[in-house]
Structure formats: C-alpha cells, structure tokens
Structure 1
Amino acid sequence: MKHILMTGFPGFLATRLLHALKQKYENAHFVLLVHPSQFEHANDRIKDLDNVEVKIGDITEETLGFSEGDRVLLREKVTHVFHLAAIYDLAVPQPIAEKVNVEGTKNINQFVQSLHHLEKYVYFSTAYVSGDRTGLIRETELQMGQKFKNHYEETKYKAEIIVQELEDVPFTIIRPGITVGNSETGETSKFDGPYFIMRILDRIRLMPIPYLGKGDVLFNVVPYDYLINATVYLSDAEEAVRKTFHLTDPNPHQARDLYRMICEELLGKKPTWTISPRLVELGLSLSFMRKFFGVEKEAVEYFRCPTQYDASGAKKVLEKGGLTCPDFKDYVGNIVTYYKQHRLDQDKKIHIT
C-alpha cells in the first residue's frame, strides 16, 4: 500500500494533484503537511475524502513541525513524497524566499533521506531556474553560471541543486513552464503570470491596442491539467528516476502571437501599434500604476527573454503514456472565457504593492 506525503496543500496545484493521485492510487493513504495558517482551509478541502489526513507542520523547521512519534511512524510508512510548498511570488523579498524555498527544501530532503521505504521523491522546481540564460535550455542543465531576474528564480535554483545532490534517492524533478488554467474548462486559482495581459487589456480596451515590443521571443505556457497528468505519470515511471523534466510547451508561440490571440479572444480586435516593454516596465515601477493594472513589473521581463526550453526528455517518456501538451491556440478561448466570467473575483486577484 502506498503512503504519500505532500507539501503545498491546500494550494491550487497540490489540491488538483491530490485528486489526480487518488484516482490513480485508490487505496493509497495521504498525509498532507499543512502550515498552521492553512489548517482550517485544508480540513474543509478534504472533508469528503477517504484516507487523507492533515498534519500541521512547517517546512522551515528542521523537524517539519512533526512530533517525534509522527516522525517515527512516517519513516516506516511513507513511500512517496511530493514537495510543492514554495513561495512563487516573482516579487518576493530575498530572506523569505531563502527561508521557504531553500531551507524548506533542505528540511524536506533530510526527511526524505530518513524514510525506510521510499519509492519516489517528486520535487517541483521551475523551468526558470535557467535565470538570464538565453538560447536552448536542456533538461540536463542547471549550473551554467546564470544570474537571475528575481529572488524566486534564484532560490528555486538553489533548492534544485540540493535535490540533485541527494545520493541514493529516487527523485524526479519537475520544471514547469508558466502555468495557466485548465485547457478544457479554463479554471484557475489566481490571475497572475500571463493573466496580466488580460488585466492590462481590460484597462485599455477603449483605446487602440499596442503590442508589447517586438514580441519575437518564445513565451512558454502550459495548462495545469497537462502539468498534473504528466506529474502523476512521471511519479510512477521507471524512466523518470533521478531525471529532470521540462513540463513546457515543446512548440511554444512567440510572445507577439500569444498576446494577439488573447487580445482577439478578450476584446475581439487585434493590436495595431507597438509600445516598448521598457516603457511599460518604467510605468509599472510606480506603485499606483501596478495597482491600477493589477500587474507586477517583474512579469514584463518574461516577454523579452530569448529562451527555448528543450522538453525532448519529457516528451519521450510522456508519449508512452499518451500524454502531449495542448497547443495554446486550441485552449486560449477557454482560459479567456473563464477570466471574463471571474475577472471581478477578489480571491483570484494577486496582492500588488
């Protein structure tokens, strides 16, 4: 019988991953390591689920907040660990990112190494551990002398290094691209990342719409259902042991085309002129502008980084399971429709400072 421990619950991806894993492993027992601040919310999420228990903990503590009794029991029981807990905010201050993303992962690693029956450790990284690198980024590459656009990227990079350095641990590292809503329903938890395009377009809908610069770089987005399904498959694939996978779009669109498709779906018209991304970034340096548009200025940088993420390793393994990444043009209508239906939902807006 599989005993699965997961961090990051009741976050959106962890919640969806829990349901997907329960479908695959009907008799598995799940332990969810949940921060005290999320305990009530987590319990609400699992009230109709069997074989799922919430344990209060904190990944920034060396003991993870577990009692000695819990640690002894878990060492004997846990077969799979899925580590999703992290600070994902592009504007996160360095000390917070370091404590949660790096120290937290170090503590999870120590716990993983203590398990007597571990079958798989799945660590959620990000494709953007590539930092400011340009050109083709391979799944086998990590420490390439890169610098970073923000503390989120840098601390996820540091965390991935210490996972890769684990000896005799059957890990699988997941590097997602920028994640958007469900390809079929459009559902998402937060309007961040690419959704900032929709927020800006909403604000300027009555004026002639500009492109954000040339937009000739590739902009890599993936729907969360592909990410979840791929993670479940890789967590059980022998070929995935001690491997790293880019869960990115193997055929991404240029930023300009992605922007145009969103504009056409949201406003029913195409952009007709071009504004410099530097000018947009300068405007977003002002707090009142960020709050007006509901956008972090750090997001603009991803529209001008000439990077291509090689996903050949992931593609080779996932095709055996019948899994392929949907093309953005085939689901853009679904994510824009969901945005239009929920654009006023305060719970889906990100906090802008």
Structure 2
Amino acid sequence: MPTVFLTGFPGFLGSALVERLVDRHDNGTTITCLIQETYRSEAESTRVDIEADHDADGRIDLVEGDITDGDLGLGDDYERLQDEAIEVYHLAAMYDLTMDREPGRLVNIEGTRHVLDFAAGADLDRLHYVSSVVVSGLYEGTFTEGMLQEGQLFGNYYETTKHMAEVLVQQRTDEIPTTIYRPAVAVGDSETGETQKYDGPYAFVEALLDQGDNAVIPAPRGASESEFNLVPRDFVVDAIGYLSGIDASEGKVYHLADPDPPTTTELIKRFGEAAGKKRTIVVPYPKGIVEGLLTSLKPDSDLLKSGGLEYQTWDASFDCSNTIADLEGSDVEIPDFDDYADALVEFVEDNPDIGDDAMV
C-alpha cells in the first residue's frame, strides 16, 4: 500500500501536518510516522485523536526508529517502507539553541543524511524538507529564498547544524525531487494560541505578565530597528500542506516568514498591550557590554550559547517571493502579527505551567 513517510511526529508541527496529509490523500494511502520509543504513548494518543476527528481509522501507522541510525532504526522494515513510500516529509530535528555539538550533529546533520539515503532509494514523488530561516546565520541584509552559502557566520550550533543539513539536501536535489521550507520562529496557533513550549519571544510575554500595570522590558540597542520575524504554527502547517500538494513547488525553497514583521520593540509593546499593560517601556542596553560581562563572569550561560541577544537585533530580513506567489489563489494567507498577538498572550496566561523543552 502506498504510504507517506514522515519524521517528527508527534511534535509541534508534525502532528498538525499529519492531519492535513490524512485529509489530502485518499483512503488507499497511509501515513507512516517514524517515532521515538520515548514518545510512543503520546504518539498513540495523538493518532487516536486524529483518526477519530478525520474519519481516518487505521490510516496512520507508527513505526519506532531513530534517524541517527543508518537504517533509521527500521531494521527489516526499511526496504519495505522504501518500496511503499511515495512522499517523505522530514521534520525531525533537535531544536535547542544551547545544544552541545555531538547530539546536534547526530540528529540534525547525520539524521538528515540518513533520511536522504532513504529517500534516494525510494521512488518518490517528492521529498519535503523542513529547514529554517536560521540558515541565514548572522547575514546582514535581505536573505532570499535562493541564498544558502553566502559566507555567513552563525550565532550558535543549532544554526550551524540546520545550515549544514540544508546544504546536504540541496546537494542531492538532482537525484531526489525536493521542496524546502524555511519557517521563521514558530509560535502558537493564531486562533487559540496553543503551543507545546515557551521559548524565544515567549520570554517577553512571561516577563510582562510578571509585572504590574507599568512594565519595563530591557532590550539591546538596535531593537527598535531590527525585525523580529515570527509566524504562527497553523500558518506554517497550512502553507506546507498546500505547497507540498502542487506541482509548481518542486525544486523550490519557501521562506515561511512574515514579509512585514514587527521590530523587536514593536513586538514587545504589542505583547504589553495584549497583556493589559497601561505602559510598556523598552529600555535599551549596550549588547556588547552585556556580552563581555557574561563572557568573563559566566561563559557557559545559556544566553551566550543560544545567541539570544542576536535574535533581538537580527540584521537579516527574509524575502518571501516564492511563498507569496505560490500561495496566491489558495486559502492560506500570511497573518499579521497584530492579529494573533492577543491569542498568544492569552494562552500563556491560561497555561502558565508549560515549559521550554522541545521534542526531537
């Protein structure tokens, strides 16, 4: 039976994408999700919910494996699944801005290499690879969908691994029909605010909610001129769901980003408004001095390892020409941050116990 093979289930994006794939493919096609043993219980529960909600009983198969293994941990099932696979969606990655080199290399780089080998041995309609706009690293200026190796430096090892992984993918596009998606910073659902973890811009939300009517948030100098590019989960999944289903997307790279994002200062103040603050004051501080102090006093701090200060004064902006052109005429639109900021903040208020741990 033909199957769509997907990594990254039951993760933040993977779970929602499986819903789109079940709806798009007919009953004669299954969705095979490569899962880690650690997440078996969560995956089983998510599968039951999706199959019930989408009248898709028996159409989602779960196979345990590990992308860091050469055979994806599939053993005797490897060749059978290669023969049955008509599409591959590779979403699994270690998302941790403070990651150590070796686990990051094994999952993000070698894991991608192993998925590419699997895809190369299958008769695929398409490989769909989820990259990230962080492949731009510390590039200054407009980073287009056609760019990748521009001599840029990187702020942390996560950026490096995602860049190296996409290089591997692009090196094999003559061999494997491929579409690449580079989401910006993915946050919660634009309608409900729902998310699995609080990281990145959520630090601003939590800091605002901890204060009274007049809130003070520090940000590096330059935050009022630097873009903070984020997109809600439902847009990312809807865009991948639509673009992956059209012939025109083969061979293209898509920036799933906001073409008109707020500055970091605008983002903080909009979050303050959503949190009901009478005033939100953004106090600039010299980034270089703070980095110097941390380097001398706490060189292994998460803020330094993550490059977190760089994201608040990001020098790159992201051209979305392919995305805008190929979504035209669809029901998928890039939402305005102002329209979903309230939903993000309300979800944090109602769900204060969610942490910042990410699923591989």
TM-score (norm 2): 0.89
Partner of 2:141: 135
**Is residue 147 of structure 1 aligned with residue 153 of structure 2?**
yes
Shift of the 323–283 alpha-carbon distance from structure 1 to 2, 3 Å rule, reads farther
Separation in structure 1 between the aligned mates of residue 305 and residue 105 of structure 2, nearest angstrom: 20
Q: Answer yes or no: is the 8 Å Cα contact 1:284–1:297 preserved in 2.
A: no
Q: Deviations over 1:297-332 (max 9, x none)?
A: 633320112211000111100113232200000111
Shift of the 241–351 alpha-carbon distance from structure 1 to 2, 3 Å rule, reads closer
Shift of the 208–296 alpha-carbon distance from structure 1 to 2, 3 Å rule, reads farther
* Root-mean-square deviation over aligned CA pairs: 2.4
Shift of the 208–36 alpha-carbon distance from structure 1 to 2, 3 Å rule, reads closer
Q: Answer yes or no: is the 8 Å Cα contact 1:211–1:271 preserved in 2.
A: no
Shift of the 238–351 alpha-carbon distance from structure 1 to 2, 3 Å rule, reads closer
Shift of 1:199: 2.0
Q: How does 1:170-249 map to 2 (within 5 A)?
A: 170-205=177-212, 208-212=215-219, 213-215=221-223, 216-249=225-258
Aligned residue pair count: 343
Separation in structure 2 between the aligned mates of residue 331 and residue 191 of structure 1, nearest angstrom: 16
Q: How does 1:1-353 map to 2 (within 5 A)?
A: 2-27=2-27, 28-48=29-49, 49=51, 50=57, 51-68=59-76, 70-116=77-123, 118-166=124-172, 167-205=174-212, 208-212=215-219, 213-215=221-223, 216-272=225-281, 274-276=283-285, 278=287, 298-343=307-352, 345=353, 348-350=354-356
Shift of the 331–208 alpha-carbon distance from structure 1 to 2, 3 Å rule, reads closer
Q: Deviations over 1:239-292 (max 9, x none)?
A: 1101111000011111111111001211423333523162666788888xx89x
Shift of 1:333: 0.7
Shift of 1:22: 1.3
Separation in structure 1 between the aligned mates of residue 324 and residue 211 of structure 2, nearest angstrom: 39
Shift of 1:100: 0.4
- DSSP 3-state at the match of 1:339: helix
Q: Deviations over 1:143-185 (max 9, x none)?
A: 0111100110000000001101112311110100001111111
Counterpart residue identity of residue 196, structure 1 = A
Counterpart residue identity of residue 273, structure 2 = E
Separation in structure 2 between the aligned mates of residue 273 and residue 284 of structure 1, nearest angstrom: 21
Gaps of 5+ in 2: 52-56
Counterpart residue identity of residue 35, structure 1 = Q
- DSSP 3-state at the match of 2:356: coil
Shift of the 192–210 alpha-carbon distance from structure 1 to 2, 3 Å rule, reads closer
Shift of the 52–134 alpha-carbon distance from structure 1 to 2, 3 Å rule, reads same
Separation in structure 1 between the aligned mates of residue 266 and residue 282 of structure 2, nearest angstrom: 14
Q: Answer yes or no: is the 8 Å Cα contact 2:181–2:255 preserved in 1.
A: yes
- DSSP 3-state at the match of 2:32: strand
Shift of the 154–295 alpha-carbon distance from structure 1 to 2, 3 Å rule, reads closer
Shift of the 120–202 alpha-carbon distance from structure 1 to 2, 3 Å rule, reads same
Separation in structure 1 between the aligned mates of residue 292 and residue 43 of structure 2, nearest angstrom: 40
Shift of the 87–297 alpha-carbon distance from structure 1 to 2, 3 Å rule, reads closer
Counterpart residue identity of residue 10, structure 1 = P
